[in-house]
Amino acid sequence: MKTLFGKVLLGSLLVLMLIAGAVPLFAAQKTEIELYYYKQEIVRQMKDMAAAFSKKYPDISIKLTMIPNDNMVTLKARMASGDAPAIIQLQSYAAVYEFAAAGWLADLTDEPVMAKVADGAKNAVTYNGRIYALPMDLAGIGIIYNKDIFDKYGLKPPTTFNELQQVCNTLKRNGVVPFSALLKANWSMGHIISMLHTTLAGDKLMPWMEKMNQGKASFADPIDTRQLFRLLDFYKANLHPNAAEMDQAEQHAAFAAGEAAMMVQGLWAYQACLQINPNLNCGFIPFPVSNNPADNKLFADVDSTFAIAATASPAEMRAAKLFLDWLSTPEAIKMWVEDCKLVPTFKGADVSKMEPPFQDLVRYMNEGKTNPWAFSMYPVAVFEDACKTGAQEYMLGLRDANSVIEFIDQTWKREISK
């Protein structure tokens, strides 16, 4: 009897212990979340950041999925099929708006991390008055120029188009390629045609954009299209002779080696060049389209964002929000600045140790001498398909100017009619 009573008592105690411990045992289970991103220049850095986060939160692991160019096709298919990554890196403006409108993103408006973001960066992720992504970095697209080559030939950074022409002529006379080429991949030309179009449009940009979204305008309306395509012709004439064969890696290598004095790129490319040649000494300026210096502003805005899938499970949602909040900590900001070489959107972030081109970006932004990234405001397919492909095909001689304009207009009308 005593033995039986003891067994019953022991069994009861075990049951009570399991019941009492059920919650902590469940909470201690490891949660894995997938982070889907497209910035191929920070693959190593994202691994380091994921590891640092998991060190702070041992119960959470991050599976990284990097899909570079044209990642939106794959991502949209996954979102529509219910196979959404917990954390999604999206470009600002249109991509965030489209995903929010589809109901794919969690509302982050009231998350504590958003109070740490500079107010000017929030427009890029705000849809119908609610915030659907964390704006992560401010970036610029323009001319990265080699100061040592400029000094060697007595050149100053051009502030007007005429000065840019003179710089290119001097470089070519001395056997230096003016611009390191990138025509093999279409995305770079998408950036360039939008940058030139935006700068030429000036104050007409936003009213024009509104009319485009009403189906009442053309890509040609706010500018002189002859000037736009003359600028593209000028750029092509000052590239490597084998520009059509050069991809991003070839562009970086040529610029880092000093074969070319300038590179029309985003500052993300400068980081890759520094890895090839740590001794690069460069500056960053707008691409001057006008002979009035005041018209030539840097093409700069919020670049990437991190959103959370609305379909994430409670455990995934908790883990994803913890990661977004961790990104605002001094540890993560330091990695973002020093390792990723990206300018953060968080208030008071210290960028004083970043290389001179990044300091140039911050200076232009602080002085208000920037234009918004209009391509991020276009319907996604307009930039991804029409601008990228249309501009590239023009540069390769496969389309004429009128065909490019028509391609963009038709794609825009198709997208707003959906």
Region 278-302: mean pLDDT is 95
* One-letter-per-residue 3-state SS of 207-276: HHHHHHCCCCCCCCCCCCHHHHHHHHHHHHHCCCCCHHHCCHHHHHHHHHCCCEEEEEEECHHHHHHHHH
In a domain, 209, yes or no: yes
Full residue range of the structural domain in which residue 291 is found: 140-300+365-416
Model confidence over 343-357: pLDDT tens digits?
Answer: 999 988 888 888 999
For residues 238 and 131, membership in a common domain is answered with no
Model confidence over 213-247: pLDDT tens digits?
Answer: 999 999 999 999 999 999 999 999 999 999 999 99
In a domain, 17, yes or no: no
In a domain, 51, yes or no: yes
For residues 292 and 321, membership in a common domain is answered with no
For residues 103 and 234, membership in a common domain is answered with no
Question: Which CATH number goes with the domain that contains 125?
Answer: 3.40.190.10
For residues 45 and 77, membership in a common domain is answered with yes
More confident residue, 166 or 268: 166
Q: At what angle do helices 388-395 and 401-416 cross, to 10 degrees?
A: 170
For residues 198 and 310, membership in a common domain is answered with no
Region 245-250: mean pLDDT is 95
For residues 112 and 165, membership in a common domain is answered with no
DSSP code, position 338: I
For residues 127 and 148, membership in a common domain is answered with no
Region 49-72: mean pLDDT is 93
Check residue 28 and give its pLDDT: 56
Model confidence over 125-180: pLDDT tens digits?
Answer: 999 999 999 999 999 999 999 999 999 999 999 999 999 999 999 999 999 999 99
| Residue at token pair 């970036």 | 139
CB-based burial label for 414 (10 Å; 0-12, 13-18, 19+): middle
Check residue 12 and give its pLDDT: 45
In a domain, 2, yes or no: no
Region 253-259: mean pLDDT is 97
For residues 158 and 210, membership in a common domain is answered with yes
- Alpha-carbon span 177 to 179, nearest angstrom: 6
Closest CA to 245 of 193, 181, 201: 181
Model confidence over 9-22: pLDDT tens digits?
Answer: 344 433 444 344 44
**For a pLDDT cut of 90, what percent of the chain falls above it?**
82
Please state which of the ranges 13-17, 197-201, 308-312, 402-406 shows the lowest mean pLDDT.
13-17
For residues 311 and 193, membership in a common domain is answered with no
For residues 246 and 377, membership in a common domain is answered with yes
Check residue 352 and give its pLDDT: 86
In a domain, 359, yes or no: no
Model confidence over 298-324: pLDDT tens digits?
Answer: 999 999 999 999 999 999 999 999 999
Check residue 193 and give its pLDDT: 98
Could you tell me how far CA 284 lies from the centroid of its own chain?
Answer: 17
Region 187-209: mean pLDDT is 96
In a domain, 181, yes or no: yes
For residues 184 and 250, membership in a common domain is answered with yes
* Number of folded domains that form the chain: 2
Check residue 400 and give its pLDDT: 98
For residues 269 and 389, membership in a common domain is answered with yes
What is the chain's mean pLDDT, rounded?
A: 91
Check residue 116 and give its pLDDT: 95
- Domain end residue (candidates: 276, 311, 328): 328
- Alpha-carbon span 348 to 328, nearest angstrom: 11
**Per-residue pLDDT for 189 more than 70?**
yes
3-state secondary structure of 405: helix
More confident residue, 123 or 3: 123
**For a pLDDT cut of 70, what percent of the chain falls above it?**
93
Check residue 344 and give its pLDDT: 93
- Alpha-carbon span 299 to 197, nearest angstrom: 11
